[in-house]
Amino acid sequence: MLEKVILHLNRWFKSNNLLMNLGKTHFMPIRKSYVSTHCWELKHFDTKTVTQKGSHKFLGVIVDQFFKWKENTEKLVSELRSLGYVFRKLVKYSVAKTIKTAYYGHVNSNLNYGILALGFT
């Protein structure tokens, strides 16, 4: 079934003059619990292997196959900690408008993408 989907996608890409980069193509099954630990590999595509991944980064949000948010939360906390230093320096040397622009560009966007993704799970 999964091989048919990949083949269908590959045909669609080719018919629309696009190229599917099989070296970077992975799949992630969505699961309800940790019961199944089977790892799949598909090897029938131009001698390339399409492998299974446990998580995927989409629009800066890391989603795992169980829709647990631990990995994304750890990444976000790490980024916010490093940005704390930047904002402390900006407060000393910049005006409020510049600080707000930096906040909306680096902090707010990450939080909003996470909220949008979390809202659909």
pTM above 0.75, yes or no: no
What pLDDT is recorded for position 107?
Answer: 84
Any idea of the CA torsion for 53, 59, 63, 68, to the nearest 10 degrees?
A: 160
Domain ranges of the chain: 2-53, 61-119
User: How many angstroms separate the CA atoms of 61 and 92, rounded?
Assistant: 31
Which whole number is the average pLDDT over 42-64?
74
Q: Please tell me the predicted confidence (pLDDT) of residue 37.
A: 57
Q: What angle in degrees, to the nearest 10, is found between the helix axes of 70-93 and 96-103? A: 170
What percent of the chain is predicted at pLDDT more than 90? 6
